[in-house]
Structure 1
Amino acid sequence: MDEITGVFIQESREQLAEMEAGLLRLEQNPDDQDNINAIFRAAHTIKGGSGVIECHFIEAFTHLVENLLDSLRNGDIAATPLLATLLLECCDQMSSLIDVLAAGTPAPDAGLLARGDALTERLKQFIAAQTKQPEASSAALTVHDSSVEASGGGVVITDSWHISVRFGRNVLRGGMDPLSFIRYLASLGEILGIETVTDAMPAAAEMDPESCYMGFEIRLQTRSSKADIERVFNFVRDECDLRILPPHSNLADYIKHIQELPEDTMRLGEILVRCGALTQAEIDDGLHLQKDLTPEAGLEGEGTDQTPPTPPPPQLGEILVEHKVVHKEIIDAAIVKQAQVSDNKSKEARLVRVQADKLDQLIDLVGELVIAGASANLLAQKSRNGDLVEATSVLSRLVEDIRDSALQLRMVQIGDTFTRFNRLVRDVSKELGKDIELSISGAETELDKTVVEKIGDPLMHLVRNSLDHGIEPAALRLQRGKPATGHVSLNAFHDSGSIVIQISDDGGGLNKDKIHAKAVERGLIQPTQTLTDAEIANLIFEPGFSTVDQVSNLSGRGVGMDVVRRNIQALRGAVDVDSVEGEGATFTIRLPLTLAIIDGFLVGVDKASYVIPLDTVVECIELKNLPTDRNFLNLRGEALPFVRLRELFEVEGEPPPRENIVVVQFAGKRAGIVVDQLMGEFQTVIKPLGAMFRHLRGIGGSTILGSGEVALILDVAALVHAVSQGEEHRLLAPPARHKLSAVQNVRQ
C-alpha cells in the first residue's frame, strides 16, 4: 500500500502541474474545449486515485472541484478570470492535501481544513448558482447546424434520426402490432416523415394473412439517445431487422465523446458503445455477422498449390458501415482513438520510475569506477606490458561510455521549472496591477536533475525582481512609447559545455547613477573610484543592497540578489546582469551541465596537480621571453590577460625555463592560466571541498587521481572574471599597483 501511495503522490503532482498550466491557458483562450477536457481529466484522475488509496480528505475536496469542472465542460458556466482564480486556489489546496498525505499525517491541520471549508463553500456557491438557472425549454434546440432553418416565428429542424425497420414474418403471430411500435416511437419526439416499404410483399396468391411483410423508413426528431430508440423495439428485437442512424449534426458529438474517453485499452466495439454511437445489441449482431463471414481455418491442404490461402477476416468497422448501422466518420475516429491508446500504453511500458536516491548511488559508484579505472590504467602504463595497456585502454573507453550513460539518466528538461513561472507571473502581475506576459524558449534544454532542483529559488528571485522593479506601470510605459503590456522572457541554451539561462524584461532597466550613489552611501565603493558599467550593474548582488525607496511584499529589503549569486556560485556557476536604461535588463546565469563527473584537463605546478574543466579550454601555447612584470600577452592581435598559478597559490621555488599557458574561455571572455606542465585529458570525479574551504575563490572542488593523490579543480568562472577585472583595475590604478593587481584580486 505504501508503494501505491507513493506512485499516487508522484502522479498527482504531475496531474496538478498539468491542471494548473491548463487553467492559465484557459484565461487566454476560454473557448478551447480540448484544454477544458484536459483540466477535467486531471482532476478526475486525482479523485479516482485518492479513492483507490482511501484518502478521503483528498477525494471529498476533489469531487467538488470535479463537479464544477464538469459544469464548465458541459458549457453550463462560462470560463471567466474569477472562475480560473478559484480553480487555481483549489489546485493550491489539493497540493497542500497531497503534502499532508506524503508526510504521513492522518488528517490536515485546522488551518488547512479552514481554508478547505472556505473553498468548498465558494465551490458550492458556483454550482448552486448554476442550478438556479432556468433550464432550456424543449423548443430551444441548438441551431448551430447548417440543417436548421428559420420558418415563421419558430424553428424548424430538418436534421433527424433515420430509423430503418423490417419486421419479421412471425410478428403478427406473436400478438404484436407493428403500428403500435410506430405510435410508441412518436412519444419520444416528432416523426417528420415515414415511408412504408413493401418490397418483401409476395403476390396475392402466395400471401399469408398471418404473416407480416412490411417495413418502415422513419425520420424522427428527438432528444432521446440511440439506446432509448432501440428500447422501443425490445419486444420484437429478435423478429425484426433494425438500423438506427443518428443525425449528421450528432457526428461531431460522437467523435468528441470518443476523443474524451479515458486512456483505457478498449476494443473497437467497446469504444462505439461507450460513446453512444452504437448499442450493445448492434455490436453483438455485427460480431455474429463477422464470425459468419470469417473463413474457417485449419482445413487440410490450406495454403498449398491446390488450395489458395485463406483471405483475411472482414473488419468489424467495415461490416457496421456496410450495413448502415454507423457512419464511417465515427468508425475512423474510434480507430484513431484505439491506436492512440495503444501508443500511449506502449510508451508507458517503456518508462521505468526510479527513486532519486538510487540514481545518486549509481552515479557515486560510477565515479568510484572512474577513479579505479584511472588507477588501473596508470599501473598498466608503468608495467609497460602491451597487452595490459591495451586491455586497460578498452576498459577506460567502456568506463567512459558507462559514465556518459549514467549521467544521461539524471538529465531532465528545464521546461518543467520554467512552466511554474506562468502562475507566478499571473499572480504577481495582478497583485501589482500590471499587465505582464511571459514567454518561454529553450524549454527542451537538458541539464542535471540536481542543478534543476537547486536553480528554482534563484530563478524565482530574478523573475520577481523583473516583475516588481523591471516592468513599469502601464501609464509610464505608454508615456515612454512602449506597449502597455510588459514582457518577461525565459530562455535556456547550451554554450561551450555549459547551460545558459537568461531572464530578460523590457522594463526600465537599471539606473546606474542611483546604484553608484547608493553604493557610495553604503561604503561599498569610494566616491572617487572609477567603475565600468558592468561593475556598477553587478553591485546589486552585494549583500543588503537595494535602491527601492519603499519596501513591498515582494522585494525592497535587500535580501535576495546576494542569495541568488551565492546559490549559483555554490553550483559552480556565475550570474551577470546587462542593462540599458529605459529599455530593460537581462540576467544571465551560466551553470555546468553536471555536478558529478566531468572531462578535465590535467596540469601541474611544481609537485601539485590541478584540473581545468575541458569544455572551457580553448588552446594551449608555450610561454617564452615574457617579462615577469606583465600580466597579459598579445595573442594574434588580441590582449590576453593571464594569471600564474605559481604566484596565485604561493608555490615556492623557481619556475621551469619553459612554461605553458592554457587559454580558457567563460561567458565570452578569455584568460590565460600559466602552469609548469601539461598532463593531458582526465576523467574527473568532482569531490566537494570541506566547510573550512567554502570561501576559497578560484577552487571549485577536488578529485582523486589514479595515483591516489588529490588534485584541486580550478573554478574557471571565478578566475576569468577576476583576471579580466584585475586587468581593468590595473589600467586604472597607479603604476605601483600594476604588478600584483590580478593576483590580489583573485585572492580577495
Structure 2
Amino acid sequence: MGSPDPAETFRQEAAELLEQIEQDLLDLEHDPANRELVDRAFRALHTLKGSGAMFGFEQVAEFTHDFETAFDQIRKGVVSASRDLVGVALAAKDHIRTLIQRPEDGDPAIGAAILGELHALIGRATPGSDMPAGTAGEPAEQPVTWRIAFRLAPNVLVNGTNPLLLLDELHGLGTCTLTPDISGIPALDGLEPDALHLAWSGLLTTTQGRDAIEDVFMFVRDDMDLVLEPLAETAADADATPAANAVAPAEGPAEAKAAEPRAPEARATEAKSGEAKSGEAKSGEAKSGGTLRVQAERLDELMDRVGELVIAQARLTQIAGATTDLNIKAVAEEIERLVSGLRDTTMGIRMVPIGSLFGRFRRLVHDLSRDLGKQVELVTIGEETELDKTMVERLADPLVHLIRNAIDHGLEDAATRATAGKSGGGRIRLIARYSGAEVLVTVADDGRGLNAARIRAKAEEAGLIAPGAKLSDAELYQFLFHPGFSTAKEISAISGRGVGMDVVKRTIEAMRGTIDMTTDPGRGTEVTLRLPLTLAIIDGLLVRVGAGRYAIPLSSVEECVELAAADDVAGRGSSFLNIREALVPFLRLREIFATGTPAEPHQKVVVVSSGDLRVGLVVDQIIGSHQTVIKSLSKLQADVETFSGATILGDGTVALILDVAHLVERGQAREERIAQAALDRAALETQP
C-alpha cells in the first residue's frame, strides 16, 4: 500500500479550514465585535498560508498572505467587520478554495480584483502596507530595532511547522538579520532526523509593535524560548553580535503531540491553549480519546465485508436449524451475536451528524438573501442527529433546491410581510429528528404558503388532471414534484423553470424515502423528508408469494393480519380491508407478480405505511424477520418500480426488496379509481 499523497492530505485539511473560516465569517457578520471569531478566522488563515507554502501551493500562500494582511486590520480593531467586508472576505475564501482544488482555474485577475476591493473597503490602497505600530502595538513615528533570539521546540517539524516560513515572516516585518546557532546539533550517531536542533538570534528593525512580532510565533509560542527586547534597553550589547548563547536552551525536548497526523487547526488549537505540557499529560490524553482520518472508500469496503458476513451468518443459522447437534447450534448463536455487534459498530462508524450538512446552507442563505434583497434568518435544529454518510452526501442537492424555492417563492419581500403583519425578515428552519427507524428532515418557512387554486389551474392547463377532478390539497401539492411543473409567474436566475423539485423527488425515492408537504396559507410551508437511517443493511420481514420470497423493510410494517374468507370474497370487488373500523386498501401481490399458482387457503395481509398513507399487501406466508443486506439492481432493472433492491438469503437464493412507497401509491391510486367508478355508476343510475 503506497504512502498517502501529501498534496491530497493538504487539500483535505484545507477544506476543513476553509469551512471553519466560512462559518466564522458568517457569524462575524451578525456579531462584528466578537474578538474570538476574528482571532479564530485569522489563525485559520495563518495556518492555511503556512501549510500551503509547505506543500508547494505557492499561489495559495501568496494570495492568503495578502488576504491575511488585510484581515489583520480587523483583528487590530482598525476597521469593523461590516456586511460588505464579510461578503468580499467570503469571495476571497472561495478563490482560495479554487486555487487549492483546481489550480488551473485560478485566475490571477480575479484574485487581484478581490484583494483590491478588500483593501478599498479597509481604506488602504495597496496590500502589504501594515500600519506602523510602536513598542506596545500603537502607531510609531520611527522604526524600532529589536534584539530577538529564539529556540523552537525539537518536535516542531513533526507537528508540521516550517521554521523557514517563520524567518520569512520576520523578514517581512522590516529589516532583519538573523544568525543560526548550530552548537546544539549532536554528533551523527545521536542525530534525530526529524528533530530541530537549531536556534536563531539577531536584530529586527520594524515599525511594527511587539504584538506583531510575537504573532509570527503564534502557533509555537507555548513550546519555545523567545527573547524580544527593544535595542534601546540593551545599549550595552548594541555593539556586540547577538550571541547564540543568549538563547536559553529548552528545558527538555517537548514530546510529540501525538503519533497520528493532526489537522493544522488541531495543532494550532493545542499550541494556543498550551494543553498537555508534559509527556505524561499528552500520553494520558492520547489514551483517553482522539480521531483518525480514514478514507471513505475503506469504510465502504468494510461495510461490504460486513454485509457478506451477515449473509454467511444467515447461511450458518439455516444449517444449524436443520441439525440436532447442540454444539453447532451454540456456535451459530455466538456467531450471530458477534456479527450483530460488528454490524452495529460498523454502521455506527458510517454515521455522521447532519450538522456537517446544515452548516453548508448558511452561505447559500447568505448569498440568496443578498441577491434577492430579502432579510432571511436560517435556524437549524437537531444538528446532532446522525445519518449514514452516504445519505448525508445525497441530501445536499435536494435540500439546496428546497431552500432556494422557499426563499424565492415562499418568503415575501419586506413590504409584503409588513402589510401581512409579519416581521420584515423571513425565517427558514432546518430541522432533523428521529422517528422510529427513520430520520425526518424538515425545511420550513414562514412565508405566504402554497396556493392550491393556482396549482390546480396549472395542473389542468398542463393536462395532468381533468377540469373539476376531486383531489385533496395533499394530492395537489404532489404536482409540484412533476417534471417541468412550476407556478412561478416569472423565470428568475434562482428558480421558476420547474426543473428542481422533480430532481428532489427522484433523489429521495432513490434513498427509499418519502416526501410530506403541508402548508398554512399566509403562515408558511413545511416539506418533510422521511429517510431510513442507512442504505446498507436493514431489518426486513421475509414473506412468500407463490414460489418466490420477498423482503419488506421492517420499519414500514405496521401490523400483520389474516385475510378472512369473507374479506377475500368481498375484496374481489372493492379491495378494502376493515381494520378496527378503518378501511385500508389492499393489493394482491400474487396478481401483481403473476405467479400463476392457485391462492393458498390462509393468506396473510402485511399492512405497510408510507407517510400518512397505508396499504395492505396480501401474501401467502410470513416467514419471519431477516437481516437484509441491500444489493442494488442493475441498470437493466432501473425502470422496475415495484422493487428497490435485492438481498441474498442464507441458502444463496435472491429475494427482491419491495418498494413500499411505490406500492402505497399504487394502492391509493386503485382506491381512487374504485371510488371514481362508484361515483360514475351512481351518476348514471340517477339519470332519467
Question: What is the TM-score when the length of structure 1 is the normalising length?
Answer: 0.70
Query: What residue number does 1:628 align with?
Result: 571
Change (3 A) 1:380 1:480: same
Aligned-residue identity in percent? 40
Compute the RMSD of aligned alpha carbons.
3.7
1:691 corresponds to 2:635: yes
Residue 91 of structure 1 and its aligned partner are, at CA, apart by 0.8
For residues 281 and 531 of structure 1, the distance between their equivalents in structure 2, rounded to whole angstroms, comes to 89
1:712 corresponds to 2:656: yes
Aligned length: 574
Q: Is the 8 A contact 2:557 2:607 kept in 1?
A: yes
Residue 345 of structure 1 and its aligned partner are, at CA, apart by 6.7
Report the more deviating stretch, 628-637 or 13-22: 628-637
Say which of 496, 502, 521 aligns to 2:442. 502
For residues 392 and 406 of structure 2, the distance between their equivalents in structure 1, rounded to whole angstroms, comes to 21
For residues 693 and 133 of structure 1, the distance between their equivalents in structure 2, rounded to whole angstroms, comes to 65
Larger radius of gyration: 1
Report the more deviating stretch, 646-655 or 73-82: 646-655
Change (3 A) 1:118 1:287: closer
Change (3 A) 1:679 1:274: farther
Query: What residue number does 2:79 align with?
Result: 77
For residues 261 and 609 of structure 1, the distance between their equivalents in structure 2, rounded to whole angstroms, comes to 68
Query: What residue number does 1:643 align with?
Result: 587
Say which of 32, 35, 42 aligns to 1:33. 35
1:399 corresponds to 2:339: yes
Post-superposition CA distance 1:609-635 (Å, at most 9, x none): 011112222322222131232422222
Change (3 A) 1:28 1:261: farther
Query: What residue number does 1:682 align with?
Result: 626
1:60 corresponds to 2:62: yes
Q: Is the 8 A contact 1:463 1:503 kept in 2?
A: yes
Post-superposition CA distance 1:94-143 (Å, at most 9, x none): 1111112xxxxxx534x62321222233344446259999979999999x
Query: What residue number does 1:108 align with?
Result: 104
Summarize the alignment of residues 232-631 of structure 1 with structure 2, pairs less than 5 Å apart: 266=222, 337-338=274-275, 346=286, 350-625=290-565, 626=567, 627-629=570-572, 630-631=574-575
1:734 corresponds to 2:678: yes
Letter in 2 for 1:128: R
Post-superposition CA distance 1:663-701 (Å, at most 9, x none): 223324433222111111111111111223222223111
For residues 680 and 455 of structure 1, the distance between their equivalents in structure 2, rounded to whole angstroms, comes to 32
Residue 380 of structure 1 and its aligned partner are, at CA, apart by 2.4
Change (3 A) 1:69 1:134: closer
Post-superposition CA distance 1:334-363 (Å, at most 9, x none): 997435997897499721111111111111
Change (3 A) 1:139 1:673: closer
For residues 259 and 675 of structure 1, the distance between their equivalents in structure 2, rounded to whole angstroms, comes to 73
Residue 396 of structure 1 and its aligned partner are, at CA, apart by 1.7
Letter in 1 for 2:420: R
Residue 660 of structure 1 and its aligned partner are, at CA, apart by 1.4
Report the more deviating stretch, 333-342 or 535-544: 333-342
Change (3 A) 1:737 1:383: farther
For residues 229 and 480 of structure 2, the distance between their equivalents in structure 1, rounded to whole angstroms, comes to 60
What secondary structure, in the 3-state scheme, does the structure 2 residue paired with 1:684 have? strand
Residue 409 of structure 1 and its aligned partner are, at CA, apart by 1.3
Summarize the alignment of residues 150-169 of structure 1 with structure 2, pairs less than 5 Å apart: none
For residues 607 and 265 of structure 1, the distance between their equivalents in structure 2, rounded to whole angstroms, comes to 74
Q: Is the 8 A contact 1:266 1:338 kept in 2?
A: no
Q: Is the 8 A contact 2:460 2:467 kept in 1?
A: yes
For residues 609 and 370 of structure 2, the distance between their equivalents in structure 1, rounded to whole angstroms, comes to 42
Q: Is the 8 A contact 1:612 1:716 kept in 2?
A: yes
Q: Is the 8 A contact 1:699 1:714 kept in 2?
A: yes
Q: Is the 8 A contact 2:353 2:386 kept in 1?
A: yes
Residue 274 of structure 1 and its aligned partner are, at CA, apart by 9.6
What secondary structure, in the 3-state scheme, does the structure 2 residue paired with 1:439 have? strand
For residues 111 and 249 of structure 2, the distance between their equivalents in structure 1, rounded to whole angstroms, comes to 51
Letter in 2 for 1:118: A
Higher relative contact order (CA 8 A, sep 6+): 2
What secondary structure, in the 3-state scheme, does the structure 1 residue paired with 2:412 have? coil
What secondary structure, in the 3-state scheme, does the structure 1 residue paired with 2:64 have? helix
Q: Is the 8 A contact 1:37 1:260 kept in 2?
A: no
For residues 638 and 259 of structure 1, the distance between their equivalents in structure 2, rounded to whole angstroms, comes to 72
Q: Is the 8 A contact 1:15 1:42 kept in 2?
A: yes
Residue 75 of structure 1 and its aligned partner are, at CA, apart by 0.9
For residues 568 and 44 of structure 1, the distance between their equivalents in structure 2, rounded to whole angstroms, comes to 41
Letter in 1 for 2:90: L
Q: Is the 8 A contact 2:276 2:285 kept in 1?
A: no
For residues 663 and 497 of structure 1, the distance between their equivalents in structure 2, rounded to whole angstroms, comes to 17
Q: Is the 8 A contact 2:219 2:271 kept in 1?
A: no
For residues 503 and 335 of structure 1, the distance between their equivalents in structure 2, rounded to whole angstroms, comes to 39
For residues 581 and 277 of structure 2, the distance between their equivalents in structure 1, rounded to whole angstroms, comes to 61
Q: Is the 8 A contact 1:265 1:338 kept in 2?
A: no
For residues 616 and 274 of structure 1, the distance between their equivalents in structure 2, rounded to whole angstroms, comes to 70
Q: Is the 8 A contact 1:617 1:663 kept in 2?
A: yes
Letter in 1 for 2:55: I
Change (3 A) 1:423 1:338: same
For residues 216 and 677 of structure 2, the distance between their equivalents in structure 1, rounded to whole angstroms, comes to 72
For residues 229 and 475 of structure 2, the distance between their equivalents in structure 1, rounded to whole angstroms, comes to 66
Letter in 1 for 2:320: A
Unaligned runs of 5+ in 2: 140-145, 147-208, 235-243, 253-269, 683-688
Letter in 2 for 1:531: L
Change (3 A) 1:39 1:271: farther
Change (3 A) 1:118 1:139: closer
For residues 386 and 120 of structure 1, the distance between their equivalents in structure 2, rounded to whole angstroms, comes to 77
Report the more deviating stretch, 692-701 or 18-27: 692-701
Query: What residue number does 1:327 align with?
Result: none
Q: Is the 8 A contact 2:32 2:82 kept in 1?
A: yes
Q: Is the 8 A contact 1:544 1:559 kept in 2?
A: yes
Change (3 A) 1:346 1:272: farther
Post-superposition CA distance 1:273-326 (Å, at most 9, x none): 8999xx9999989999xxxxxxxxxxxxxxxxxxxxxxxxxxxxxxxxxxxxxx
Q: Is the 8 A contact 2:381 2:431 kept in 1?
A: yes
For residues 688 and 728 of structure 1, the distance between their equivalents in structure 2, rounded to whole angstroms, comes to 32
Query: What residue number does 2:89 align with?
Result: 87
Summarize the alignment of residues 129-148 of structure 1 with structure 2, pairs less than 5 Å apart: 129=125
Post-superposition CA distance 1:457-497 (Å, at most 9, x none): 11101100001000011101111111111111101111121
What secondary structure, in the 3-state scheme, does the structure 2 residue paired with 1:402 have? helix
Post-superposition CA distance 1:193-233 (Å, at most 9, x none): xxxxxxxxxxxxxxxxxxxxxxxxxxxxxxxxxxxxxxxxx
Q: Is the 8 A contact 1:537 1:579 kept in 2?
A: no
Q: Is the 8 A contact 1:272 1:334 kept in 2?
A: no
Residue 259 of structure 1 and its aligned partner are, at CA, apart by 12
